[in-house]
Copies of this chain bind each other. A is one copy, B any other.
Amino acid sequence: MSSAEMQLVALREYPQIASGDDLAAFAVDALRRGGLQLRADDVLVFAQKVVSKAEGRQVELATVTPGEKALELAHTVQKDPRLVELILRESRRVVRAAPDVLIVEHRLGWIMANAGIDQSNVAGPDSDCALLLPEDPDTSAMRLRERLAELTGCECAVIISDSFGRPWRVGTVGVAIGCAGLPATIDLRGQSDLFGRPLRVTIVGHADEIASAASILMGQASEARPVVLVRGLPARAPHRPATALLRPSGEDLFR
């Protein structure tokens, strides 16, 4: 019997993050201030942005020299050529390019806008800094989980979330790009419905649904809260990394 109740709490007063900061320790402090104690069946969702900052993934645009391909593409998409250069360096290939739109296959396989590189909430409005995705978000999630266990004795699960746009639908939604201690996808193949018929839906994007739920509380603007505790999730096993959410290109009809 899986859970019938779930609670989400955005951690308050989570500080601004700089390179090298201990995100797990900050989270434990913020939980404590909120009167909360981490449990083994909790999930902590960290916004990609704070993980990237802690990992020192900021790049000053002034240090980037755009190559020929970036210059050309920047013209098409009407973006800063230095930013486009960074996007290309983080990508395997360009999937779609149009004015204001640059969708790529990120080096880790995610199909996403701008290789996840962001300039908002990075530094002051006059700064020309870009923030890359974490080097390897599944590993980042695993490290955060280990550090949380060190600090609290609790092996909770960790998700690193980002906001992705989607074909066909308007609006971004939270998705998981890193995952530790829970299955990013849940495989229901072989299970039956209420009447004994095999289920139509066979694989569920579990970590993405959790990331979307957390995203509701995170917000996007100045009140942003980058860490959300999720409590009461249905039992989870086995661990499956966020890369399980990558649809193999051979099975994908929309590349």
A interface residues with partner B (beta carbon < 8 Å): 1-10, 12, 16, 96, 98, 101, 103, 110-111, 118-125, 127, 163, 166-175, 185-186, 188, 191-201, 203-206, 208-210, 212-213, 215-217, 219-225, 233-234, 244-247, 252-255
Contacts and interface: CB of A to CB of B under 8 A. Distances in A.
Contacts of A9: 4-6
A121 to B, nearest CB: 4
Contacts of A167: 111, 167, 247, 252-255
Nearest to A164: B169
Contacts of A223: 1-2
18 contacts: A2-B223, A3-B217, A4-B225, A5-B8, A6-B8, A8-B213, A16-B194, A111-B167, A120-B193, A120-B197, A121-B193, A121-B194, A124-B195, A125-B196, A171-B208, A171-B245, A192-B221, A216-B233
A166 B220 contact: no
A188 B205 CA distance: 26
Q: Which of A12, A166, A219 has the most CB of B within 10 A?
A: A166
A216 B200 contact: no
Contacts of A8: 5-8, 213
Contact of A7 (B6, B16, B170, B186): B6
A111 B169 CA distance: 9
A244 B26 CA distance: 38
A209 to B, nearest CB: 4
A238 to B, nearest CB: 15
Contacts of A170: 185, 203, 205, 244-247
A117 to B, nearest CB: 9
A200 B119 contact: yes
Nearest to A229: B5
